[in-house]
Structure 1
Amino acid sequence: MGLNGALFLLLVCAAARAAASVRDGPLLNGNFEHKPHTSQMNGSRVLGAHAIPYWTVTGFVEHIKSGAQEGDMVLTVPDGSHAIRLGTESTIQQQLSVTRGKYYSVTFSAARTCAQDEKLNVSIVPGDPPGELPIQTVYTSSGWDSYSWAFKATRGLVSFVIHHGDDMLDDPACGPIIDNVAIRTLNPPHATHDNMLKNGDFEEGPYITKGSPWGVLVPPLNEDHVSPLPGWMIMASSKVVKYIDAEHFRVPHGSRAVELVAGLEVALVQEVDTVPGSSCRLEFSVGDAADKCAASPMIVQVATAGGSKSVEYNSAGTGGFKRDKLDFTAQHNRTRVVFYSTGYHMTSDGTGTLCGPVIDHVSLVCVPPTHARR
């Protein structure tokens, strides 16, 4: 065996035994640029369970190169020159060393190839049941979207798993391409006297890959699951909101915000404890991300049990925002705050990229009724 072969075997053995100690950023070989040895490949198909350094694979998994031709389709990757493709009933996983009781968000890029109704199951083992990420809707013109998913660590050593099911049984190779897998430790903020909402400025959220031009999609989740956007729930059947940053977009306040890219089909929601009869003021910013999302007007519906309001914002698609407020009286011990876009929008550059109004800098302050103060 030559020197290169020996070094390769040492790398594979170390990857199979050791768990990656988590730090914010890409997972070990999260962009799949460290490729399998040629002896572990049949064309693009990965043959060995531990052939991809730092990962374990099962089923029909391919390690692809950007520009590879498949029929009439040219495969592309969002970063570097390599990615993996998950075929029917295939899995890729990496073992992680995490802190028990901490919250984490995982981000990865995905693109459909030959199936229209593709879905990915993401999970932590041991942990809660898998979460399903719908990737049927493509939100960007490139065909690539970045998705986020979150979990609470119940053990110090866990495995992060992405599984692709049986969408195309007649073609075992058919499935999505995965790249740029990264992780971030979440530190969920608390409500304060000045703001009863948690994470009202959206500064705490999933990892955004440096140089990524499309933000991170936050999918719908059951109310008892961990949100990649602490404090907030995404209420929808299969649509998402987009988490954006000031490095790549225009945001009204701070360095993070949320863009409502799916119209009436998704709502951004948070519930807070309130005293019935309290006088409440909800303040917020509505704007655009400077992503050529031009519309006059964009309309955001803001709603609580105590009242609702339609907020119009005339967008030129070049950035900007307006402050607005909703005054209402709390009706119950729990008050649900809801934001959603009443329209569907695309960028004005003709690429078909979905976009929408931006929500940021949200605060809620309630003053209890006089008899509650005594």
Structure 2
Amino acid sequence: MHGSKAQILPAWKVRTSDKRNLVKNGGFEVGPHVFKNFSREVLVLPLKQDKYSPIPGWMVQFMKPAKYIDSKHFLVPWGNAAVELIGGRETGIAQIVRTVPTQFYNLTFTIGDANNDCHGSMTVQAFAGKASTEVSFVSQGNGWFKTASLEFQADKTRTTVAFYNPFNHTKIYGFGHVCGPVIDDVSLVHVRK
């Protein structure tokens, strides 16, 4: 399934509140405190710099931070918060989930832009164990999202679910301001076959 195309789903069909969801904090509703009148986002340091992630269940990988954003200041696809992958190839988020070898699972997730003038062709690479997919879209920087899925067969008792942004992006009118695609509403459910 490496490099397979993701299936695009209507956003209303997927919700992280599903009791079958094996991912913890898939909607990123629990995370660092965003001050009302002081900050618009919170940079979350990678695991190499901070061993304790302020986003329960998730770890930021590689060398650069991810951005935790809220719905008061940005377009968040679902709920009150999401994560923006701002560091290009050097930023990713991951979670290790319990799975049963040989069983099938469906990973669904929502990607988009935060309505923050981040523009251009964007891609999110999603991994679940050895399976992967890339989902691309063109951002106009004015808020948009879509939901995708990846079905895979587990080969271990623990499977790493990860999301990466392979490209660097800047805002339309602020080339010094890095930005990137938004990840939200992550769900992993067992599929009976």
Structure-1-length-normalised TM-score? 0.45
Larger Rg: 1
Relative contact order, CA 8 A, sep 6+: which one is greater? 2
Contact 1:293 1:317 in 2 (8 A): yes
Q: Give the distance between the partners of 1:236 and 1:215, measured in 2 at CA.
A: 20
Q: Give the distance between the partners of 1:211 and 1:351, measured in 2 at CA.
A: 25
Contact 1:277 1:368 in 2 (8 A): no
Q: 1:325 aligns with which of 132, 149, 155?
A: 149
Identity %: 45
Cα 1:223/1:305, change in 2 over 3 Å: farther
Kindly report which structure 2 residues correspond to 1:256-275, keeping only aligned pairs within 5 A, or say none.
256-275=81-100
The one-character-per-residue Cα deviations of 1:22-41 (angstroms, maximum 9, x if unpaired) are: xxxxxxxxxxxxxxxxxxxx
Corresponding residue number in structure 2 for 1:367:
191
Q: Give the distance between the partners of 1:346 and 1:212, measured in 2 at CA.
A: 22
The runs of 5 or more residues in structure 1 that have no matched partner are: 1-190, 370-374
Cα 1:368/1:271, change in 2 over 3 Å: farther
Is 2:69 the counterpart of 1:244?
yes
Q: Report SS of the residue matched to 1:323.
A: strand
Cα 1:362/1:340, change in 2 over 3 Å: same
The one-character-per-residue Cα deviations of 1:342-369 (angstroms, maximum 9, x if unpaired) are: 1000000034100000000010002367
The runs of 5 or more residues in structure 2 that have no matched partner are: 1-16
Q: Give the distance between the partners of 1:261 and 1:346, measured in 2 at CA.
A: 9
Contact 1:219 1:240 in 2 (8 A): yes
Contact 2:107 2:128 in 1 (8 A): no
Corresponding residue number in structure 2 for 1:341:
165
Corresponding residue number in structure 1 for 2:60:
234
The one-character-per-residue Cα deviations of 1:81-133 (angstroms, maximum 9, x if unpaired) are: xxxxxxxxxxxxxxxxxxxxxxxxxxxxxxxxxxxxxxxxxxxxxxxxxxxxx
Contact 1:281 1:365 in 2 (8 A): yes
> Displacement, 1:224?
9.7
Cα 1:299/1:366, change in 2 over 3 Å: same
Is 2:29 the counterpart of 1:210?
no
Contact 1:301 1:309 in 2 (8 A): yes
Kindly report which structure 2 residues correspond to 1:264-343, keeping only aligned pairs within 5 A, or say none.
264-295=89-120, 297-343=121-167
Q: Report SS of the residue matched to 1:197.
A: coil
Is 2:46 the counterpart of 1:220?
yes
Q: Give the distance between the partners of 1:198 and 1:341, measured in 2 at CA.
A: 21
Cα 1:192/1:361, change in 2 over 3 Å: closer
Structure-2-length-normalised TM-score? 0.86
Contact 2:20 2:190 in 1 (8 A): no
Q: Give the distance between the partners of 1:337 and 1:228, measured in 2 at CA.
A: 18
Kindly report which structure 2 residues correspond to 1:105-124, keeping only aligned pairs within 5 A, or say none.
none
Kindly report which structure 2 residues correspond to 1:1-374, keeping only aligned pairs within 5 A, or say none.
193-212=19-38, 214-221=40-47, 225-237=51-63, 239-295=64-120, 297-367=121-191
Aligned length: 177
The one-character-per-residue Cα deviations of 1:170-202 (angstroms, maximum 9, x if unpaired) are: xxxxxxxxxxxxxxxxxxxxx974210000000
Q: Give the distance between the partners of 2:117 and 2:77, measured in 1 at CA.
A: 16
Q: Give the distance between the partners of 1:365 and 1:204, measured in 2 at CA.
A: 20
Contact 1:278 1:366 in 2 (8 A): yes
